[in-house]
Amino acid sequence: MGMDRSEALFDRAKRVIPGGVNSPVRAFRAVGGKPIFIKEGHRSRIEDADGNQYIDFVASWGPLIAGHAPAEVVAAVSAAASQGTSFGASTELEIALAEKICAHVPSVEMVRLTSSGTEATMSALRLARGITGRDGVIKMEGCYHGHADHLLVKGGSGLATFGEPDSAGVPADFAAHTLTAPFNDIDNVARIFETHNGGIAAVIVEPIAGNMGVIPPAPGYLDGLRDLCTKHGALLIFDEVITGFRVGLGGAQAQYRVTPDLTCFGKIIGGGLPVGAFGGRRDLMAGLAPLGPVYQAGTLSGNPLAVSAGLAVLSILERDGAYDQLEKLGAKLGTGLKKAAQNAGVPATLNRVGSMMTLFFGPGPIGNFADAAACDTDRFARFYRAMLSKGIYLAPSAFEATFVSLAHTEGEIEQAVDAAQQALEETR
């Protein structure tokens, strides 16, 4: 498998882009080797600059639930582009996306579109602070809510990958308002509320953690957060940037039947173009400028290309059987990976919700960040490289999700499971 062109591109990139990448998790540092540079993607497959082909289980870190370049999305984006790429002014398209989100997610009566998930979470928290007049925020260790200053505290995703759960450059005064608790530990959150009586504006949580690997909520955990927020007058914010429209049209909140006050979206609602959104009850969203005093803005917010792509993907997901198919393929991959690890005698735990999953190299159960961090990351790195050499593209970090899309075939899932079996045996 030649990598010459990717290596040359990486050398070139490093001269002008820090670390050669525009987002640290792409750098392959946690798995060794050098990043591949992608030339194109179609359906479930990508091709790198050297012409190597891979079955893609990264899906651009989640958005591509219908695979690469689905005809409907390409047509929608082309049609929008031919009429102008950005206006920085209102369009009918953005209303259509907002209406769709509100229709599918009952807790969202109004929604503001942004250009990334980071903007969505950052803005939702500002709104929560503006409404409650309080500064404190509770987040869970290993959850990642984008890279706003006050959220880079005990973060997952790239921060977990590089073993640096906090970031330099965040003033201690900012970070001091972010209080952390282990995921799935409701008593811990209750204690923080008691200690900071009347000072907590919001609890923000990924209802299914996806940035420390996939970790589902323990039974009753999300209900417990709901009750605590209600009791203490704080807002419950679900970060559904990954889970929104991934685990069902209503997101994780529909699956677990828990109603947050505010919800953040990203990824899938942009169909692979830069997008984010946050929404919630009408009375809360009315706190936003120009209706209310909390300021939030963006030149490219509600961009017609991104909104068109998102609408096209949501239409695909609304078709009968879309989520059944995702569940079927997800179950096949999850069961296959679990069995492959058992056959190879490798201690592993498979956490899965629908079409998102993580194979952790540890005996489990994996219920929080400490459990995930205790897994064998060296084994993951060996496994990762072996999978890549067999044409299977996974996220280059032990702390991320593996995503199945509607574009994967059963045959491709079988191919991935066979590759995993071999990779696990070779790297035992």
Catalytic machinery residues = 144, 239, 267
Should residue 25 be labelled a site residue for ligand HOZ when binding is judged by CB under 6 A? yes
Minimum distance of ligand HOZ from residue 406's CB (angstroms): 20
Minimum distance of ligand HOZ from residue 247's CB (angstroms): 15
Minimum distance of ligand HOZ from residue 424's CB (angstroms): 24
Closest to ligand HOZ by CB, 121 vs 132, is 121
Should residue 383 be labelled a site residue for ligand HOZ when binding is judged by CB under 6 A? no
Closest to ligand HOZ by CB, 400 vs 412, is 400
Should residue 121 be labelled a site residue for ligand HOZ when binding is judged by CB under 6 A? no
Should residue 158 be labelled a site residue for ligand HOZ when binding is judged by CB under 6 A? yes
Closest to ligand HOZ by CB, 251 vs 287, is 251
- Of 316-355, binders to ligand HOZ (CB under 6 A) are none
- Using Cβ positions, the residue closest to ligand HOZ within the complex turns out to be 23
Closest to ligand HOZ by CB, 94 vs 141, is 141
Q: Which of 12, 17, 18, 23 binds ligand HOZ (CB under 6 A)?
A: 23
- Of 38-77, binders to ligand HOZ (CB under 6 A) are 61
Closest to ligand HOZ by CB, 211 vs 355, is 211
Minimum distance of ligand HOZ from residue 242's CB (angstroms): 7
Binding mask 190-219 for ligand HOZ (x = CB under 6 A): ---------------------x--------
SS3 assignment for the chain: CCCHHHHHHHHHHHHHCHHHCCCHHHHCCCCCCCCCCEEEEEECEEEECCCCEEEECCHHHCCCCCCECCHHHHHHHHHHHCCCCCCCCCCHHHHHHHHHHHHHCCCCCEEEEECCHHHHHHHHHHHHHHHHCCCEEEEEECCCCCCCHHHCCCCCCHHHHCCCCCCCCCCHHHHCCEEEEECCCHHHHHHHHHHCCCCEEEEEECCCECCCCCECCCCCHHHHHHHHHHHHCCEEEEECCCCCCCCCCCHHHHHCCCCCCEEEEEHHHHCCCCCEEEEECHHHHCCECCCCCECCCCCCCCCHHHHHHHHHHHHHHCCCCHHHHHHHHHHHHHHHHHHHHHHHCCCCEEEEECCEEEEECCCCCCCCHHHHHCCCHHHHHHHHHHHHHCCEECCCCCCCCEECCCCCCHHHHHHHHHHHHHHHHHCC
- Of 384-423, binders to ligand HOZ (CB under 6 A) are 400
Minimum distance of ligand HOZ from residue 110's CB (angstroms): 25
Minimum distance of ligand HOZ from residue 23's CB (angstroms): 3
Should residue 236 be labelled a site residue for ligand HOZ when binding is judged by CB under 6 A? no
Should residue 157 be labelled a site residue for ligand HOZ when binding is judged by CB under 6 A? yes
Q: In what order do the strands lie in the sheet with 38-42?
A: 38-42, 45-48, 53-56, 392-393
The site that binds ligand HOZ (CB under 6 A) totals a number of residues, namely 7
Closest to ligand HOZ by CB, 211 vs 303, is 211
Where do contacts with ligand HOZ occur on this chain (CB under 6 A)? 23, 25, 61, 157-158, 211, 400
